[in-house]
Chains A and B, each alone.
Chain A
Amino acid sequence: MSEKRKVVIDLEESEKVQLDGFSELNSVDASGVLSVNNVSERSRIWNVKVLLGSTRDKTDIDEDTVSAGEIDVGGKWETNYGIKVEEPILTFKEVFDTCGTIETEQPHWAYVSGKENPVKITLTVTNETDEELDNIILNKTIAPELTGIEIVSVKSGTAEYDEGTKQVVWKDFVIYPHESSQLVISATGVVEDTNPKKSGDVVITYRGEGQQRSALEPDLNALTEFLTGIETAETEPNQWQCTLECTNESDLVVRLDKAEVFLTPEDGGEKEKMIDEAPGVELAPDQEWAKSFEVQSKSTPKCTQDLVYTPIGTIKKRVLGTIEKAAQEIPVYSIEYSKTFDPPSVNSFDKTPVEVVVEVTNNGSAKLNEITIEDQLPDDVMPPTSEHVTVWIRNEEYSGPYEFMIDPEDQDPETPHKITFRVENLKDSGGELEPGESIKINYAVMAWRSRPEKEYPSPVVCTANTDPAGIPVVMQSPEDGHKIGVIYKKRAISTKKAINKGAGAGEYIVVLAVSNNGEVTAENIQVTDWIPAGFEYVSTDPEDEEPEVVSAGDGKSMVWKWTRMNPGDKKKIRVTVQGEGEYERREPEVSSI
């Protein structure tokens, strides 16, 4: 028994999808190849016509019927066509999160320079059709700055990382209708420069057996080896049996669509249709089909036939798809900073306002959404008040929201303070800090009696982050960095004393001349002069320089205290004392800071 072969009408349609770095659809192009394959081993087919009708609407095929001519044994005829489509049957989304350890609504999109970035890559494929998709192979290229690649999870199939090709290959899985599958990869990204990197591209191939992107429903109309004839046999005198006989001589299955036989009357009148059949019967190779009718005629009846048949076609179709996703650009966030004092040095023991300027520059390739500056003020420095800070962004004074905190919240110059400046959410208040742009803050502090033997480091820590915030980039000075210079100015307090006789008996005028002959202001000056036993303090000229008189064992001490003497300041004091005996001279004592 012969094999039942049918002519194959094949629709192989392809879609090629281009996605951008963020998995957005750039383009989807679809095309198809319509072919007719004569699978017969011994029968040609000819007058082949492919019937498309209105199903060709989504294609660029111009005619409802396409002529394929003659197709030899084992031969094939084919034609190409384009298809209009809007979306692919498989969709893909890659989420490249540069900081997978911090969960945020949107993924982190930039590397922090000089640190380990815990990268998490999530690859999701979704079957958008009502049929199964198979033969899916996904190749993910791993960027060179990533190390420690690990397959965290795979919903279906197998995924492996090939160190040699730097690729993750995910395969051996199918996706059921309207379902998704997901692969999660983790890695560590380390970048030392600030040039933007690439996330690595993705290529996916897939197959949808039995699916098509066009709406083509082709049918076939052709001829092949098919034997037909009418046998006229007299069964009784002038009684005839006419039989239409058909035999499928090919090795293809042939469908008989129409069988009509016309009898021409003996008297030459109008032909009479004696067989009018639309059997639609499928005839296997060598199978016969016959139909008879009876007629009376003195002579052999004259019959003609009209038959329509065609080898049967069977449709095979599939969709082959390719998705190419471009690599996502991964910028790098990085900052540099500068800090200056004006003046850079102050005179020792003086009170000097010092302007502090800290400028943070975005020297990376990513936009920055928040900046923090922490400035440590040493002791002997009076901190600013929060309302006296000026901020510039892009060299223009910034009036948007920011925090400026001083801890502890006082202006005590004897304790260290920490100043924290923070500006967040720049994207909603003037725009993020673009690469090359800077933010600058200025405030004044008061160097408060800086001592020459001390050092006054004022280290600074600057941090910045993106939106959403990931691992902050940090630039900081050494702990003993940014010292406020102290210019040593010599102190020289001169004290001269004279003891003169007064107007009355036992009265002495003690003259004290105190002067600051040094280069720097003296503070908390204390001058002590001794009054011998037997003498009493009487008065002072000027009166408002009256000393504190205290007992001192063998007499009394006069003590003057002045808070400050500038270079060149002089004080001359005349003290009247009264008593008996010799007024012994001792040198006055002076101390100051």
Chain B
Amino acid sequence: MLKILYFGKTSFALRYNEIVVVLNPGIWDGKPIVPDDFSARIVVATNQSDDAVGNAASIAVNSKAWFLGNQGAADKASEKGVKPWLLHVLKPEVPYEVPDLKITPYELSRVDESEGGRIENLGLYIEIGNMKIGYLGDTEIRGPFEQLDMDVLIVPVGGDGVFPVKDAVSLCIDAKPRLGVPMRWSSDEDPKKFAKYVQQFGQGITPVIIEPDQVLEVHWAAGNEFRYELN
């Protein structure tokens, strides 16, 4: 069973057996979303912004975990004390693989709202256990994700340099994952609209809003029946 713990914003932890992967443990308004002492095997930041890298270095150092990210994120993590031997730079479309886990990054980007232009960002196609998770991080483009076979697709919906609701819904409709999960919303209305539109226009897709500190459990019952539970 895969457990997906949501911390808020774009921060998640994926737990499968002994593997714990933390995604984008960002710092927002000066406060970390994920506790420094959160125990993880792998910490991933999809871009170098504070709201993605955040306290990833602290978590990685405390847990002696691997840090994964694009070059910008890796540089930042290194500055913050992650040992070089625990750093792994993710290259677009080059998978990172350990037992029960395969992460394939894809080159995406987000808008840099403070300085203009774009910030490189990686979308992650995560095969963990027997589940396929799409995690777009902070992105305003969809890249190849509409063509990937996914059980769970986690997309930003806030519109502040990343997908607004309409583009997140549009990607869900095209990609047809089993579950569509919104993240990084700017208002409480964003995830509700996402869920409403996906339910209405995404035939066969179930929207799931995970509130911070809730856990989404997904598994294959009898090996072929997809089931999920939100706790």
Contacts and interface: CB of A to CB of B under 8 A. Distances in A.
A444 B197 contact: yes
B199 A388 contact: yes
Contacts of B50: none
Contacts of B196: 388, 444
Contact of A353 (B140, B174, B201): B201
A564 interface: yes
Interface residues of A, number: 21
By DSSP majority rule, is chain B's interface helix, strand, loop, or mixed? helix
A384 interface: yes
Interface stretch (A19-27, A98-106, A567-575): A567-575
B203 A446 contact: no
Interface stretch (B10-18, B29-37, B142-150, B177-185): B142-150
A518 to B, nearest CB: 12
Interface residues of B, number: 24
A567 B166 CA distance: 15
Nearest to B163: A566
A569 B201 contact: no
A353 B169 contact: yes
B165 interface: yes
A2 interface: no
A411 interface: yes
Interface in B195-228: 196-197, 199-201, 203
Given A350-B170, A563-B147, A568 B141 contact: yes
Given A353-B169, A353-B193, A385 B142 contact: no
Q: Specify which of A411, A566, A570 lies most central, judged by the most chain B CB atoms within 10 Å of its CB.
A: A566
A542 interface: yes
Contacts of A382: 201
Interface in A396-451: 411, 444, 446
Contact of B174 (A388, A444, A564, A567): A564
A566 B193 CA distance: 22
Given A446-B197, A446-B201, A564-B174, A353 B141 contact: no
B174 A563 contact: yes
A444 B173 CA distance: 15
Given A384-B200, A388-B196, A568 B174 contact: no
10 contacts: A351-B169, A352-B170, A353-B193, A385-B200, A446-B197, A564-B174, A568-B109, A568-B140, A568-B141, A569-B141
Nearest 8 CB-CB pairings of A with B:
A566-B141, A351-B170, A353-B197, A388-B200, A446-B201, A568-B141, A352-B166, A569-B141
Given A411-B203, A446-B201, A564-B146, 17 more contacts: A351-B169, A351-B170, A351-B173, A353-B201, A382-B201, A385-B200, A388-B200, A411-B201, A444-B197, A446-B197, A521-B170, A563-B174, A566-B141, A566-B143, A567-B141, A568-B118, A569-B141
Interface of B: 93, 107, 109, 118, 140-143, 146-147, 165-167, 169-170, 173-174, 193, 196-197, 199-201, 203
